[in-house]
Amino acid sequence: MHSDPFELNYSKVKAYLDCPYLYKYIYLDRNYPPHTPFSSLGISVHRALDRYHSGGGGLDELMLCYDENWHHHGFESPQQTLEFYRQGRRILENYRRAEQAGSRAEIIFTEKEFEFEFERWRVRGTIDRVDRLSPAGGCEIIDYKMGFETKTREELEKDLQLSIYALALKKTFNMDVRIISWLLLLKGEKVSIPYDPSREAAILSVLRDTGEKILALDLSRKGKCSSCPIRKLCAVSEAK
């Protein structure tokens, strides 16, 4: 776990914004929040899609990528493991069918790492997928979400993660981001909005303010303990 206070990424910023003690637990105390069946399924499907799009092929190849990248932590029993494993297979089978039924996108990047300098910080991250838009030009950022919870355009308009990614593509690769999207894998639906570059100053302000508080180790507030992934482990939790 990287604890360099001058390095920012979305996960680190989100952890601090959710709760400074969650940030401390992960990035300073170097602990890992416990895996759940949902997090392990998400990791498995994400890794499978990355390998599949990197190597190509059909449904058999996609299923092989899934089997080779199955993340088996956090399950309470072999039966629960099998239930989630089968759910992941169904999700990927539906993904492959939808891919065949539609026009095949021109994928520029999958799991693309980036790094750019911003004032005192290095901002780093990994983007799930970037597609080329044609004939209009520009590109679309796609972030895979499992889709267990409903996602809306209004939420996407306020999303910090994809706004950071759009900034990264612009600063690092000089790419013109036109659309940002969540691909909800469970339902096979996409939530998309035009990218709004007018938000870039506000996004950089969030990075600056959060970065300064991380440097100062400001622990003056707590997040919502009842929904925290470490509520049973945190020394200051009110939801043990």
Could you tell me the domains of the chain? 106-209 (3.90.320.10)
Beta carbons within 8 Å of 132's beta carbon, 6+ residues apart: 105, 106, 107, 108, 139, 140
pLDDT at 222 over 60: yes
Name the least confident of 43-47, 81-85, 105-109, 139-143: 105-109
Q: Are strands 189-194 and 177-184 parallel, antiparallel or unpaired?
A: antiparallel
Residue range 173-211, pLDDT digits in tens: 999 999 999 999 999 999 999 999 999 999 999 999 999
From residue 164, give the alpha-carbon distance in Å to each of 53, 74, 116, 124, 219: 23, 30, 11, 9, 24
pLDDT at 1 over 70: no
What whole-number distance in Å separates Cα of residue 148 and Cα of residue 240? 25
* Six-digit token string for 174: 């000089």
pLDDT of residue 149: 87
* 41-54: average pLDDT: 95
* 216-226: average pLDDT: 92
pLDDT of residue 146: 95
Residue range 111-161, pLDDT digits in tens: 999 999 999 999 999 999 999 998 778 999 999 999 998 899 999 999 999
* 69-81: average pLDDT: 96
Indicate the pLDDT class of residue 3, thresholds 50, 70 and 90: low
Alpha carbon of residue 84 to chain centroid: 20
Q: What H or E segment, with its residue span, contains residue 155?
A: helix 153-157
Q: What H or E segment, with its residue span, contains residue 156?
A: helix 153-157
Q: What is the mean pLDDT of the chain?
A: 93
* 39-61: average pLDDT: 94
Question: Would you tell me how many other CB atoms lie within 10 Å of the CB of residue 235?
Answer: 10
